Amino acid sequence: KSIINKDEMNYLKLIEELLSDGQRRDDRTGTGTIGLFGKTARYSLRDGTMPLLTTKRVFWKGIVEELLWFISGSTDAKVLSSKGVKIWEPNGSREFLDKCGFPDRREGDLGPVYGFQWRHYGAKYRGPDADYTGEGIDQLSTVIEQIKNDPNSRRIIMSAWNPIG
């Protein structure tokens, strides 16, 4: 008897539609993207489930380490690299930082990336070694409190995007 994961099947159908009907677009990296307008993906987290693909090998330890790194608010790629997670290394390389106009940032300094936005939204970024305690809005803590105290609120939202950052 095979177990069919409905969420994964929906994901695979979306990928199939993307590849057959998607619109190819150029991007800043030169790699390009394929997009479909107005598509949404939703995954259940009920009953202890985790939306993890089974159709390909997944670096589970890397996923967990990266999520914990985001939760910590870190912006230092070297923290992840030391745990065997190398995905952010190119973005913290000397060559990349110089090319992007950040010659003063040390290698590994990714700037105010996702975890920083989650934990210190709106704080002035001073580097990966600065103490940001009490600075900015801790969106993650706010969302957790909202879920505990008012789980039906329509205002429970967290964003990793900072349009001025």
pLDDT in tens, the chain (165 residues): 456 678 888 999 999 999 999 999 998 888 999 999 999 888 888 888 778 877 888 899 999 999 999 999 999 999 999 999 999 999 999 999 999 999 999 999 999 999 999 999 999 999 999 999 999 999 999 999 999 999 999 999 999 988 776
Task: Give pTM, 2 decimals.
Answer: 0.79
E strand or H helix at 35, and its extent?
strand 33-35
State the sign of the Cα–Cα–Cα–Cα dihedral 7, 88, 62, 118: negative
Q: In the prediction, which pLDDT does 99 show?
A: 95
CA distance 68 to 65: 5
